[in-house]
Structure 1
């Protein structure tokens, strides 16, 4: 994987004044597996909505996720669902599985400049998760799927909405993500890009297309340890 072995240096990030983080599988590691609960809820939602057995419902759910960026966007386009109802039911989960991460909190707090969460989930989901991690108070704002008018990453217009709202200079910004396709636009905009991967690239719960590959060119850096990565670059600042 490109740049997996390279460590961040002062020269790589001293220009950065805006730090943008995805939420799920980024601010907490893949092995926490919080998203599996949401995944089950979405399958149940699709099953009840369309009277499908669980296998067929999951297949359609994943098809919409792959084709439209989120299951919600596919359901809105093809079935006219109420997005707020969907988000409430999808995020009816147990957040207790998310462990506090004081090392990550200290690292994010120490980053020079503004910090944002940019998620295809809801503000409530981001707040609940970040509060469990102990990092919520370190962020300037949360840009969620509602703020994006329910058009998810990787849509270019959604990045434009976020950048415009917060007046982000993309040449002085960094983006942290777990999905390679969600780094394509940030990379093109001149942002420094960091891909979060599972420990030893062991993707236990991801679809094949979600996994990083040796051909991923949109990530400047790849790491399985966000706190360690941030502390490494902070040590040179």
Structure 2
């Protein structure tokens, strides 16, 4: 019973953040889930919940989603994921974590400069394809695609609604792909599905509240939240790498 309560609570907390910003749901939920679950079980339960939670967010922000923003990300994600799997076979995980940590640190330092922080990526599909490939690579190697996706959103200078619409649609495709691959590998059990169902109630409740709060976020506040998320992601990657 404790595990069911903790999973629901973890995904409710993550849902509030994800509903308001479109990013960071799993990062908030995962540390809470690992209090009662093994890391591998926490990942599998979160993968199941991510399908429903991302679909819920995509529906909530459907009016603001622009398919032209999303299709390059999804298309680039596929080869990026394959490349990440291949590199993971030959490179230690901690090396990849440190590399991504350095990338995040460089971007955060760039944001400290008023001139560099105004730089904007052109509205062209090749940049979306490249960002999608990086997201896929990071997801399949260190399971943190939200970090490069957050950088891409900030570099495009999208307004909060457009950013949340694009990110939620991207996460639907990414979550479905991950869940199908895991299911095909026979990784799910009946007990994990039951835990996911418990977390579903917390996720939907948290995201509903988060979407309500997100409507009151201004562009500058939204940007600062994403920067905080990227700083936390960098810290998490560094801690994982050195440990």
TM-score, normalisation: structure 2: 0.28
Structure with more contact order per residue of length (Cα contacts < 8 Å, sep ≥ 6): 2
More strand by share: 1
More helix by share: 2
TM-score, normalisation: structure 1: 0.29
